[in-house]
Amino acid sequence: MSDAVIEGEAEPPQPGHGAHQPDGNILKLAVGALGVVFGDIGTSPLYALRDTFAGHHPLPLDELHVYGIISLMFWSMMIIVTLKYVFIIMRADNKGEGGSLALLALINMNVGQRRWSAGIVLLGVFATALFYGDSMITPAVSVLSAIEGVAVYSPGMGPLVVPLVVGIIIVLFFIQQRGTARVAALFGPMMTLYLATIAILGIMSIAAMPSVIGALSPHYAVVMFLADPLRGFLAMGAAVLAVTGVEALYADMGHFGRPPIRLSWVALVLPALVLNYLGQASLLMRVPAALESPFYFLAPQWFQWPLLLIASMAAVIAAQAVITGAFSVTQQAIQLGFIPRMSIKHTSKAMGQIYIPAVNWALMIAVLLLVVVFQRSSNLTAAYGIAVTGAMLIDNFLIAVVLFAMWKWKWWQAAPLLLLFFVLDVAYLSANLTKIPDGGWIPLLIGLFIFILLTTWAKGRALMRQNMAEASIPIEVFAKSAHNSAARVPGTAIFMASSNTGVPSALLHNIKHNKVLHERVIILTVEIEDVPTLNGSERWEVVDLSEGFYRLTLHFGFLEETNVPAALAKVDMCGEPFDMMKTSFFLSRQTLLSSKNPGMAIWREKLFAWMMRNAAAPMDFFRLPTNRVVELGSQLEI
């Protein structure tokens, strides 16, 4: 096996400092959060209660089970969403940023290497892999469940549902490359309208049967499980749909901040969801035939088509939020060293407004396949939930590390909370595992495949760096000897190095073949820190090696664009300022060779080589001027 590899990739994260806080009025940010953070969980009423009573493990439509499920959904939202995520996990922010990868970086920066560190990293990576499975299912189930209202109100239009959904999804993914900044400004007000609408419809239905409010009592859930434990357990697989999208509360924290997200959840989203679920329960108790779509049948006849339009807009917003989340997670994973370089395009000056073509088209194909194969949202929800509950369970392990190792909680303070979270999440995951034969295998297969990709890339990079370090020589020794053995020519040569020790192989080969050195030689390493953004003063550090040699390290946060020329323009300690027209960038292109004692299984080495071949060119990733780049080849065993 032999494949070309470019030396000069970004260093994996190192402990650093930085801060990112969203600017703006808290009320304005809270409205903005409605359109990004709560799209997924906000559209759950479209299908959650219906699938509990008409899904793959249907419950009898009687007071025992209706009240029991409403109680279960309500207390799941209170414990999992409100207590666990909004008031505990969101406190574990990495300079304002959230998400599994940001939390991993935070733990790594504060805890360091422990015996259990490798296991925690693998869990965090698997949670990220499961997120990709969820990001494929969410757009399909959200848009399908909304557009199915066409068939509810006009059964003759049923055959148009799938073509309409396919058309909406294609348009949605095609507009990503143009950016969504202008449209996104409307997302918050649209979701506000949607949530207010479903709350009012819920209140109208509750008024016809006020006693349904009693279903919020936790004893109804207990009574249901005692009276019908098997079906109650199986129904948890559908009831968990009421909390899908909870990861977005944490992952999107950096865009809006903790207080606005908390305000949105407590003041509007939670009350609207509870009122709508109670309204649907009241309707089902009074009109069992409404089980076909209790969400849409809440509306009076004159408001049915307006509700369809409002719900469809909310579903598109939910899908857009997941797509944007997939772009952001991919960018973090690239910067943290778990995914190969990809072409990342910034669609606006706003932070986080990015577009990744490879992710966009892969997601579009996956979503379209899911829609065409499953046809109905009730079929697709069988595949929904496993990825969500798996990620929620993994978050418990991560937050346990934070509570004990970082926040230094006493065991008697943390244990009751962790026990509550683990019991609930294990129960939900176990119930969802019963969906595996009905489609639950899809997110698991996707998650396993992506997990293999992420870990193979990280392991391959580590082996490559290790072997390169073993063969390198000290730069100080090289600078003194090379100064007298090669002719000096005008200009600046920047040799990209993946490590800030030793001599890049490109520099060695330049001396060997060209026998010249530029007047100024810069050994440049790009390091990605464990923080989302950095201040200007933390961007670079320089070591003067004498004889015109400098070692320069540029630092970037894991949410920042690695624009090397822009960063170089601000460096003022390497002699004269950098002029791109007088500067050449030298990259080393290594050819990977299988060693007699491979560091990975042969199939993983081949997979790593394939990922290397398909990685974006370093010129694009580092924003280097393509007409100023020189590549020199060498061989490397892994």
Report the distance separating Cα 207 and Cα 205, nearest Å: 5
How distant, in Å, are the alpha carbons of 89, 348, 435, 499 from that of 630?
A: 47, 31, 54, 19
The residue among 79, 99, 83, 92 whose CA lies nearest residue 37 is 99
- As a whole number, mean pLDDT of residues 209-228 equals 93
Relative orientation angle of helices 117-147 and 161-174, to the nearest 10 degrees: 130
Q: How confident is the model at residue 113 (pLDDT cuts 50, 70, 90)?
A: low
212 and 274 in contact (C-beta within 8 Å)?
no
pLDDT (0 to 100) of residue 272: 96
Q: CA 430 from chain center: how many Å?
A: 24
Q: How confident is the model at residue 199 (pLDDT cuts 50, 70, 90)?
A: very high
Query: Is 71's pLDDT higher than 50?
Result: yes
How distant, in Å, are the alpha carbons of 227, 228, 277 from that of 223?
A: 6, 8, 19
How distant, in Å, are the alpha carbons of 35, 169, 327, 334 from that of 360?
A: 20, 11, 8, 16
Query: Is 6's pLDDT higher than 50?
Result: no
- As a whole number, mean pLDDT of residues 130-135 equals 84
Relative orientation angle of helices 229-239 and 411-433, to the nearest 10 degrees: 90
The CA-based dihedral angle spanning residues 423, 426, 432, 433, taken in that order and rounded to the nearest 10 degrees: -140
Q: For residue range 238-270, what is the model confidence (pLDDT) as tens digits?
A: 888 888 888 777 777 777 778 888 899 999 999
- As a whole number, mean pLDDT of residues 277-297 equals 93
- Mean pLDDT (the chain, rounded): 83
Report the distance separating Cα 42 and Cα 557, nearest Å: 31
pLDDT (0 to 100) of residue 349: 57
User: Mean pLDDT lowest for which of 87-96, 427-436, 560-569?
Assistant: 87-96
pLDDT (0 to 100) of residue 596: 64
Top mean pLDDT of 148-157, 221-230, 341-350, 622-631 is at 221-230
| 3-class state of residue 632 by DSSP | strand
pLDDT (0 to 100) of residue 222: 92
The residue among 576, 583, 575 whose CA lies nearest residue 625 is 583
pLDDT (0 to 100) of residue 115: 64
User: Mean pLDDT lowest for which of 145-149, 292-296, 385-389?
Assistant: 385-389
- Tell me which DSSP letter residue 78 carries: I
pLDDT (0 to 100) of residue 121: 81
DSSP lists the bridge partners of residue 524 as 496, 552
Six-digit token string for 24:
């703006």
Q: How confident is the model at residue 366 (pLDDT cuts 50, 70, 90)?
A: very high
| 3-class state of residue 433 by DSSP | helix
Higher pLDDT: 108 or 459? It is 459
Both ends of the chain: CA-CA distance in Å?
11
- Tell me which DSSP letter residue 543 carries: E
342 and 359 in contact (C-beta within 8 Å)?
yes
Q: How confident is the model at residue 24 (pLDDT cuts 50, 70, 90)?
A: low
**Domains of the chain in sequence order:** 37-439 (1.20.1740), 474-637 (no CATH)
Report the distance separating Cα 304 and Cα 306, nearest Å: 6
| 3-class state of residue 4 by DSSP | strand
Over the range 334-362, which residues count as b (16 or more CB within 10 Å of their CB) and which as e?
A: bbbbbbbbbebeeeeeebbbbbbeebbee
Q: CA 394 from chain center: how many Å?
A: 14
Q: Which residues contact 165 (CB under 8 A, 6 or more apart)?
A: 140, 143, 144, 147, 371
Query: Is 16's pLDDT higher than 60?
Result: no
How much of the chain is in helix, strand and coil states, percent to nearest 5? Answer: 65, 10, 25
pLDDT (0 to 100) of residue 299: 92
Report the distance separating Cα 60 and Cα 507, nearest Å: 74
Report the distance separating Cα 494 and Cα 142, nearest Å: 49
pLDDT (0 to 100) of residue 12: 47
φ and ψ of 593, to 5 deg: -125, 140
